[in-house]
Amino acid sequence: MKRRTQAGAGAGAGSGAGCLLAGAGAVIAVLAWAPLARVNVTGGFEGQHRDLSVLYLDFPLIALGGALLPVVAWRAGLTVVGRPWAAVLGAVAALALGVWGLTAWWEPSGPPVFRE
């Protein structure tokens, strides 16, 4: 009979935490991004500047980034620190910084502004 090692004992619980972090990260990133992208989908004033590329290009990238960022940070935290609670805390902090960076950087294109 083989004995389970310390790292192998927590592998089942770790994969569940990784999936939970990925799902939560994708949902939070999309929910933070959606109000910013609304002007592109609805077209702004009188529907004149509709850009649906946010649905087939930006939406999958935002969801993928939101899913991968906390999982990568969590796995790196487990590798470096070795404590699950510290790794989850680092993943939540990485997701918060990622969402903040997304909302600060990503700006939807708007209708042209005419200045006099």
Indicate the SS3 state at residue 24: helix
- The answer to whether 52 and 37 are in contact (CB under 8 A) is no
- The answer to whether 62 and 33 are in contact (CB under 8 A) is yes
Indicate the SS3 state at residue 77: helix
Mean pLDDT along residues 53-78:
90
Q: How far, in whole angstroms, is CA 16 from its chain's centroid?
A: 18
**Residue 40 token pair:** 């592109």
Rounded CA-CA distance 112/31 in Å is 26
Reported as type and span, the H/E element at residue 101 is: helix 84-105
Question: What pLDDT score does 82 carry?
Answer: 85
Question: What pLDDT score does 72 carry?
Answer: 94
Rounded CA-CA distance 4/57 in Å is 44
Indicate the SS3 state at residue 44: coil
Whether the per-residue pLDDT at 49 is higher than 90: the answer is no
pLDDT in tens, 6-44: 554 445 556 788 889 999 999 999 999 888 888 777 766
Please, which residues have CB within 8 angstroms of residue 78's CB and are 6 or more apart in sequence? 14, 84, 87
Question: What pLDDT score does 9 carry?
Answer: 46
- Is 0.85 topped by the overall pTM? no
Mean pLDDT of the chain: 80
The larger pLDDT score, comparing residue 34 to residue 1, is at: 34
Least-confidence region, from 3-17, 64-78, 96-110: 3-17
Mean pLDDT along residues 57-80:
92
